[in-house]
Amino acid sequence: MHKLSKFVDVNQLPEQFGGTLGYDPDSWLSKRIEIKKWQNYLVEVDADSSKHSLDDDQKLEEFITKLQSTKRIEDEYASNILKKSVRDVKLKEEENSKEGLIKDHTAGVSDFLDWIEGSGEKWLNSLCQVADNVDEAESLVKQHEELTNKTKEIEEQSHQLAEMATRLMAACPQVAIVLQKTREQIRDVAEHFAYRVEAQTQFAVSNRTFREKVAEFIKKSDLMLEKVCAEDGASVKTVEELTSTKKELDDLVNSMNVSFETAMDAGEETVAKARQYSEVLPAEEFVSHIGSSLTYISQRQNRHNELASVKRLEQQQHLQLMTTYGDCDQAIKWLGELKETLHKEYSLSDIDEDAVKNLRNDRQNLDRTAVSTYQYGKQLLSMAKNSERSAMKESSTDERKEKLETAWKELNLAIQNNEQRLKVVESFMATHRQMMERVNEIEKSLRERLRVSGKLNSIVLSTERKRLKNDIEELSNIGNMLSAQINADHATTLQDRQTAVKQISDKINEVMTAQRRMESLIIEEEEAGSSSSGKEDKHSSRKARPLSKVPEEEGGDVSPVFPRAVRLLETNEGIAPAIRLSKNESYL
């Protein structure tokens, strides 16, 4: 027994040989069956990796751990065999996995390149065009958005392939160089394709904006053309309506020109986009296409501006013609107002020299205003006639010309009547002034004669006194007729008429009073002479010698001193010294 223990561990010997090993055949058999089962599992997994199960792997690990925990030699040996089989299976799986990854990577790269060079290239090339209208441009932008989304997926795929290549380079150093080149190729192809998609997308968006601006310009130019072609001559009746229509056309033209400038800017930006991506876009073709559109809208804008200029000229002529009509009507109205003003404000309310002088000055200003207004109206009619001829419109100046001439004739007649009345008043005033001067001169002469000769009689200055008396009677007749004319003028107020008539009467009475005062000198002297006639008869043989060298007039009258003053008054320019009219004559 002791000899066996030298070769076999005691715990490995059963009890009958003096060992401590407890041997259970059933337990040993069940372990050997399970070990065989796991060996068969590993063989199957090695042959077909699809039969690999994580649950079975977990159970196998637990069984190996259990065998190692018994510390039996046979169990330890069995566990080592199972461990080795597991390692072999894993190594084989890793090798198979690397090969699968390489195959998957190769297949992914192949699919990636096939799509880029096949479907993607065709799709991208089909969208490489210039849209001619807004709808086509909008459709191109939407298709580019779809292509952009697909490109993002392709870029994500390229990132995944690059990451896989990086892992394979670490796992398979023998193919690292090939994988690195493949990774760089994938990255370059994806970036170039994405750059082309971005270039076409930006050009499509810019072209859509350009087409929208062109459509807006065409719409506004059509509105402007519609306004230009509208027949507004028959519908517009007033200057305000024509001015409003002209302003609407100006606003449409300005709006069209602003829209044109915006479209040109958008077109230039689109051309700049095409040149910016000239390495991936057919820039010259795109630029030529956009340039033709720019030329079209430029020519359209020029044509529409020319039409608008013609329409503006027509509207300006029409506006000028209507304004001239309005000014001419205003001139006719002014002539009527001047006539009313002449009747109401240029009638004499004060028969006074200052009032007459002021009225004369005001009347002269009114005369100048009337003439200038009439000439202004004639100029307006001439301008209207020329405007009608240039605008090829029917003449309507004859009616206004007739109205202007009628208004001028009425005003001129009123001016003439006013002038005649004013001259009568001036003559009355001048005659009144001369009468007063003559009365004063005669009275002065009588007093001088009385002082020199000491006596007066009825034959002294009888001719001058008689002439003066007749002139005063004529002045009274003129005053009466002038008063009648003033009373008949109902354009002035009753108070003004009464004031003027009273002033005329006062001036006549003033002359008559002065004349009676002058005559009273002779009457008083005659009465005094009759009382002393007895005394004078005694000295009749002695002729009285005059105290002065005053010559005697024919018939016994001494020539008076005052005729020189009277003659001076008679030679005054423009004013007759005395006015004599028959009872049937009138100064007004």
Taking residues 284-288, what's their average pLDDT? 93
Look at residue 208 and tell me whether its pLDDT is greater than 80: yes
Q: Does pLDDT of 218 surpass 80?
A: yes
Q: Which long-range contacts (CB under 8 A, 24 or more apart) does 493-502 make?
A: 496/347, 496/349, 499/349, 499/350, 500/348, 500/349, 500/350, 500/351
* pLDDT of res. 259: 94
- For the segment 216-221, the average pLDDT, to the nearest whole number, is 94
The two three-digit tokens of residue 48, written as one number: 């077909």
Question: Six-digit token pair at 377?
Answer: 């109206």
pLDDT at 180: 82
Q: What is the pLDDT of residue 557?
A: 38
Describe the chain by its helix, strand, coil percentages, rounded to 5.
Answer: 80, 0, 20
CB contact at 8 A, 397 and 388: yes
> Domain ranges in the chain?
24-115, 131-308, 353-527+555-570
Q: Is the pLDDT of residue 513 over 50?
A: yes
Asked if residues 566 and 441 have their Cβ atoms less than 8 Å apart, the reply is yes
CB of 450 closer than 8 Å to CB of 456? yes
Please, are residues 281 and 202 in contact by the beta-carbon 8 Å criterion?
no
345 pLDDT more than 70: yes
pLDDT band at 529 (very low <50, low <70, confident <90, very high): low
At residue 402, does pLDDT exceed 70? yes
Give the pLDDT mean for 214-229: 91
CA distances from 136 to 132, 265, 267, 275 (A): 7, 21, 16, 22
Closest C-alpha among 74, 27, 64, 26 to residue 42 = 64
pLDDT over 60 (residue 329):
yes
Do the beta carbons of residue 404 and residue 381 sit within 8 Å?
Answer: yes
Q: Is 370 left (phi over 0), alpha (psi -120 to 50) or beta?
A: alpha
Q: What is the pLDDT of residue 539?
A: 44
The average pLDDT across 392-416 equals: 82
Choice among 200-204, 248-252, 345-349 with the minimum mean pLDDT? 345-349
- Buried/exposed code over 145-167 (b: 16+ C-beta within 10 A; e: otherwise): eebeeebeebbebbeebbebbee
- Among 115-124, 358-367, 384-393, the range scoring the smallest mean pLDDT is 384-393
More reliable by pLDDT, 324 or 22? 324
Q: What is the mean pLDDT of residues 240-251?
A: 85
Q: Give the global pTM.
A: 0.56
Calculate mean pLDDT across residues 239-248: 83
Angle between helices 283-345 and 353-391 (to 10 degrees): 150
CATH of 131-308, one of 1.20.58.60, 3.30.160.100, 2.10.109.10, 2.20.25.90: 1.20.58.60
Evaluate if residue 546 carries a pLDDT over 60.
Answer: no
Residue 563, pLDDT above cutoff 70: no
Confidence of residue 446 (pLDDT cuts 50, 70, 90): confident
3-state secondary structure of 558: strand
Nearest in space to 17 (alpha carbons), one of 28, 7, 4, 27:
4
Residue 561: pLDDT band by 50, 70, 90 thresholds?
A: very low
Q: How many CB atoms lie within 10 A of CB 20?
A: 11
Q: What is the mean pLDDT of the chain?
A: 76
Pick from 1-5, 22-26, 379-383, 541-545 the range whose average pLDDT is largest. 379-383
What is the per-residue pLDDT across 35-91, written as a single tens digit (0 to 9) for each? 787 777 777 776 666 665 667 767 777 777 777 777 667 677 777 777 777 777 677
What's the mean pLDDT in 415-421? 82
Query: pLDDT > 70: what percent of the chain?
Result: 73
pLDDT the model gives residue 287: 94
pLDDT of residue 88: 73
Cα first-last separation, the chain:
189
Specify the higher pLDDT residue, 579 or 57.
57
- Per-residue HEC secondary structure of 534-557 comes to HHHHHCCCCCCCCCCCCCECCCCC
**pLDDT number for residue 276:** 92
Cα radius of gyration (the chain): 69
Q: Go through the chain and tell me how many residues it has.
A: 588
Q: Where are the alpha helices (DSSP H) in 392-493?
A: 397-453, 462-488
Provide the pLDDT for residue 146: 94
